[in-house]
Amino acid sequence: MAEHFKQDSVTAVAVRIDAEHPHGVVFDPHQPQLRVTDLGAVRGDGVFETMYALQGHVRKVDAHLQRLRRSSTITEIGIPPEESWRAAVELGLEEFRVRGQLPEHLSIRLTATRGVDGEPASDDPQFAGTYWALFTQVSETMLENRAKPISVTLLDRGYDAGAAERAPWLLLSAKTLSYAVNMSALRWAKNHGFDDVIFTTSDGQILEAPTSTVLVLKKEADGPRLITPVLETGILPGTSQGAIFAAAEEAGWKLGYGPLTPEDLYDADHVWLCSSIRLATPVARIGDHELAVDEGYTAQLISFLEQDKPVNHPV
């Protein structure tokens, strides 16, 4: 048991932020840390971000912290200032170094919950909830699967394209902990022989995948064009898509924003799902429609991510 923990302790580190530790304090993620009355655990009432650190360099920190702030504003959950999160991330990386081994590939998940109902952790609303960063070594399986072509199924997300603007209480563009539907859609896909899902609106627009952003490439006469769905449908502004767009634009590629339909995907030259940890995963099949896969373009997108350009979403 001690042996087991010792092994795990190198692959997982956690840092809590609270009013007494505004720059974070290390804790053991294998020990209970949350009360059963925490609204994160009882109502999925929190927000999060998942970042990728390669050899200790955390990618797109600004974009992730900006989106975390945006999610916290939409959900009215107070969160610590940026410097707290940055310090917590540094503390977690340092903890790995102190233990003698900083993994080459780390997932860093920042989570903020509304805390315990009726018992704010602090009078300061920036520290009233529950906050932590969880550092996990990216598994070998994930690394091996990254660039492997996948099959996806289109699943109706139930909302029409106007729901996000019409009904802000649906929190459609916040990255909340209420992810049961995202997980359910992935189970549905796997039970039906697919690797992943692309959500559509009930009126037939392409949205996003449960944990990634859809990216389309069209080869045009004067070069490649990258296209991603419009944000107005309430999808999350993708940090990886944004970083790819920033670097692609500098490389002279053209950019475009949907609305996209399933036909646009079938007619595309290539489609990827982009996320911080998986990077750019080529889609080889959507339902019954085969799609071409191009290793060169996939490598190009991944190299765009390596440039870690500032993300600037058109909203």
Residues lying near its own copies in the complex (CB under 8 A): 12, 14, 29-46, 48, 75-76, 109, 111, 113, 132, 134, 155-160, 163, 166-172, 174, 176-185, 187-188, 202
Quote the least distance from Cβ 134 to its own copies, whole Å.
6
CA atoms within 13 A on the CB side of 134: 15
Query: 90, exposed or middle or buried, with CB in 10 Å at 0-12, 13-18, 19+?
Result: middle
Angle between helices 239-250 and 295-306 (to 10 degrees): 100
Quote the least distance from Cβ 78 to its own copies, whole Å.
14
Q: Whose Cβ is closer to its own copies: residue 8's or residue 90's?
A: 8
DSSP code at position 172? T
Q: Whose Cβ is closer to its own copies: residue 195's or residue 308's?
A: 195
Alpha carbon separation from 310 to 16, 69, 208, 242 (Å, rounded) = 27, 16, 21, 8
Note whether 135 and 12 are within 8 A (CB). Answer: yes
Q: Return d(Cα 98, Cα 95) in angstroms, integer.
A: 5
Q: Return d(Cα 103, Cα 97) in angstroms, integer.
A: 9
Q: Whose Cβ is closer to its own copies: residue 143's or residue 183's?
A: 183
Q: Whose Cβ is closer to its own copies: residue 125's or residue 168's?
A: 168
Q: Whose Cβ is closer to its own copies: residue 18's or residue 308's?
A: 18
Quote the least distance from Cβ 247 to its own copies, whole Å.
30
Q: Whose Cβ is closer to its own copies: residue 199's or residue 272's?
A: 199
> ∠300-89-37 over CA atoms, to 5°?
115
Tokens in use for 148?
Answer: 């492997």
Quote the least distance from Cβ 139 to its own copies, whole Å.
9
DSSP SS3 for 50: strand
Note whether 227 and 257 are within 8 A (CB). Answer: yes
Note whether 224 and 272 are within 8 A (CB). Answer: no
Q: Whose Cβ is closer to its own copies: residue 108's or residue 268's?
A: 108
Q: Whose Cβ is closer to its own copies: residue 190's or residue 219's?
A: 190
- Strand-pairing partners, residue 17, are 131
Quote the least distance from Cβ 41 to its own copies, whole Å.
4
Quote the least distance from Cβ 128 to its own copies, whole Å.
15
- Region of residue 234 (phi > 0: left; psi between -120 and 50: alpha; otherwise: beta): left
Quote the least distance from Cβ 67 to its own copies, whole Å.
16
Quote the least distance from Cβ 19 to its own copies, whole Å.
17
